A and B are shown apart, each in its own frame.
Chain A
Amino acid sequence: MSKFEFPPSIKSRPTYGTLEPRNGTAHLFIADAQGAQAVIDVCQKDPSIAKFAHIIFIPKGEDELAEDLAELGAAQLYVGPTYEAAISRIRHVLRDAKMGLQIYLAGSEGLMGQAQNEAVNAGYPHTAIQSEHRGSTARRMQCVHCKGITEDVETDPFVCAHCGLNLFVRDHYSRRLAAFQGVCIDAEDHGNVPEQKGIYE
């Protein structure tokens, strides 16, 4: 399955790489859906990691990949129904973690952004966290007006799920909110809302 090529963009827009094995005393993987394949790939690059690995996976329908992950022989594997359900586990693991931990994120931007935040809040520098994008290109969008976050946005413009304003999609991204910015599209001409297109069309 080929990876999506994000078009070049502004400096605040996150870019992703390819997961590589790194020296460390423990390895934490957090992934959703097709991100599992990136986890499998890096563990195959260095099979010695698995012994010290804790994998947290949200399948979102990719149950076969969950089975493949189970075969890696990780020290701990958690397959959970949603990211929200996994949060308390993630926070506990980070709270008890020691320096020497390597963190690997893979899958959708929304999952990676939120998991990265948990790590940063626990004291881990964001520049040391590896991330690889796989699968969905839907965005988490924050409405700059009401501050509500609308999940899984794929069209531009879109309607804020909280306050109902029509918002256009910006590439300006906040690491802290793990979301892109949505701004009212018809503020200067009320009611003039362009037709919805795919964000990457």
Chain B
Amino acid sequence: MTIQFNDETFRDDYSFKNSEWAINRFPFPFHEDSYMYSVNMEQHRGGPKESIFEKRFDVDEHYVSEMRDRAMVLADDPLRCQSLPHMTLAGWDLLELIMVSKSEDYPDLFELHRDKDNWRWVNKPLGIDDSFVFLDETTLPYGPMEYITRQAQGDFCVLDQREENLWMDAGMITTQADWSLDFDIGMNFFEWHAPVPKAHELGIFTRALKFLLNVQQGAPARRLNWTMTVNPLLDTSPENYHKWGIQKTSLTPENLGSKQHLRVELQTFFRLPRSNALVFPIRCYLCSFQDLMTRPKWGRRLHRVIRDLPEELATYKGFIDNRPMMLDYLSQFDDGLPTSPGVFADLDTEPALQK
């Protein structure tokens, strides 16, 4: 399949745009008209054709521009990519996983040639053609985790599994929803989730951890998470919060449709074989409210979810101050009609807006 790669920015002039294809496959995360935390894990073994669930590591029209934005973030702040010394083997595992998956899933974009430990990797969209020796760090320009994640969309947390827990001991984090790798590296599953309200008392993390500890080779899993961002800004890091925070106050009723974005994370979980570590890719998809409203069911549902979301969650997700303005906008697209269960837009069966 041919993908037309956009030339766009996720900062400054924000020229980011989703094509119709991208909007169609956008992972709207709400399967009902309200939202509460759940473990909501499922197997990551394909999905509907052309959906974001189909391939192991989804590549879309934003690929080249996202990787350019990542390189800029790293040039400015190298601490966004760190690997504690014992995690290098896990980095090689991740490199192998991504190279094998992408070369198999997108053979016209990526090639992997292997002759025992002598590998050659071709990345056509980014113009890369590198030969190296597997497991020999001296033959790559960066550590293996950094090397391959500079070529893969989304953030990557590489978790060491010990003492019946998971430890965030390595990561490439440049598109995060407001958390710091430099601060959190070395923490365990409960510690790095410490700031999340309500979820601990619900036992969400205990159940999720038990599931993740038992994710095995060849049997990856996935779930969705979501938040809100003003402007299609990928780098919503705490490190730069003192620069981007002010953008939240730039919303007006006139620009809200184009500036307010729903930010959905496709979180996947793969067991890494040689290190027994777990990799946790967090793939970020953005869609403006005005694009979402072109799908009537999503318009109805998003209004209801945001309206009824507990205050603590809206605060934690950073949009409590803008919620009234968001609801004013969204209510225009909610005619009170029932919505079908499930996340898909169901354009064939869901009626157009009756207002």
Complex contact flag A–B (Cβ < 8 Å):
yes
Interface residues of A (CB under 8 A from B): 10-13, 127, 142, 144-145, 147, 165, 170-172, 174-177, 181, 183-184, 187-190
Give the chain B neighbours of A165 by CB distance below 8 A.
Answer: 242
Cβ-defined contact, B183 with A188, below 8 A: no
Query: Who on chain B is nearest to A171 by CB?
Result: B194
Closest beta carbon of chain B to A192's beta carbon, Å: 11
Give the chain A neighbours of B187 by CB distance below 8 A.
Answer: 12, 174-175
Closest beta carbon of chain A to B271's beta carbon, Å: 24
Kindly state whether residue B114 has any CB partner on chain A within 8 Å: no
Cβ-defined contact, A184 with B241, below 8 A: yes
Give the chain B neighbours of A177 by CB distance below 8 A.
Answer: 183
Selected interface stretch from B125-133, B207-215, B245-253: B245-253
Cβ-defined contact, A145 with B242, below 8 A: yes
Give the chain A neighbours of B240 by CB distance below 8 A.
Answer: 145
Q: Considering the chains assembled together, what is the distance between the CA atoms of A10 and B199 in angstroms?
A: 12
Give the chain B neighbours of A183 by CB distance below 8 A.
Answer: 238, 241
In the complex with contacts A12-B187, A144-B183, A187-B241 CB distance below 8 A:
yes
Q: Which among B191, B239, B321 is the interface contact of A12 at CB below 8 angstroms?
A: B191
Kindly state whether residue B89 has any CB partner on chain A within 8 Å: no
Kindly state whether residue B193 has any CB partner on chain A within 8 Å: yes
Cβ-defined contact, A181 with B242, below 8 A: no
Give the chain A neighbours of B246 by CB distance below 8 A.
Answer: 187-188, 190
Give the chain A neighbours of B248 by CB distance below 8 A.
Answer: 188
Main secondary structure of the interface of A (DSSP, over half): loop
Kindly state whether residue B329 has any CB partner on chain A within 8 Å: no
Give the chain B neighbours of A127 by CB distance below 8 A.
Answer: 163
Cβ-defined contact, A145 with B239, below 8 A: yes
Q: Number of contacting residues on B, CB 8 A? A: 28
Per-position binary interface string of chain B over residues 178-221, scored 1 when its CB falls under 8 Å from any chain A CB and 0 otherwise: 00101111110011111100001000000000000000000000
Q: Considering the chains assembled together, what is the distance between the CA atoms of A11 and B240 in angstroms?
A: 25
Kindly state whether residue B79 has any CB partner on chain A within 8 Å: yes
Cβ-defined contact, A172 with B194, below 8 A: yes
Cβ-defined contact, B195 with A172, below 8 A: yes
| 16 residue pairs A–B, Cβ–Cβ below 8 Å | A10-B194, A11-B190, A11-B194, A11-B200, A127-B163, A142-B183, A144-B238, A147-B182, A172-B183, A174-B186, A174-B187, A183-B238, A187-B242, A188-B246, A188-B249, A189-B249
Give the chain B neighbours of A172 by CB distance below 8 A.
Answer: 183, 194-195
Query: Who on chain B is nearest to A184 by CB?
Result: B242
Q: Which residues of B (311-352) have their CB < 8 Å from a CB of A?
A: 321
Give the chain A neighbours of B242 by CB distance below 8 A.
Answer: 145, 165, 184, 187
Q: Considering the chains assembled together, what is the distance between the CA atoms of A189 and B163 in angstroms?
A: 44
Closest beta carbon of chain A to B153's beta carbon, Å: 25
Per-position binary interface string of chain B over residues 212-241, scored 1 when its CB falls under 8 Å from any chain A CB and 0 otherwise: 000000000000000000000000001111
Query: Who on chain A is nearest to B243 by CB?
Result: A187
Query: Who on chain B is nearest to A10 by CB?
Result: B194
In the complex with contacts A10-B195, A11-B194, A184-B245 CB distance below 8 A:
yes
Give the chain A neighbours of B200 by CB distance below 8 A.
Answer: 11
In the complex with contacts A175-B186, A188-B246, A11-B191 CB distance below 8 A:
yes
Query: Who on chain B is nearest to A11 by CB?
Result: B194
Query: Who on chain B is nearest to A188 by CB?
Result: B245
Closest beta carbon of chain B to A155's beta carbon, Å: 19
Q: Which among A10, A171, A181, A184 is the interface contact of B183 at CB below 8 angstroms?
A: A181
Closest beta carbon of chain A to B12's beta carbon, Å: 18
**Which residue, of B187, B244, B248, B321, has the highest number of chain A Cβ atoms within 10 A?**
B187
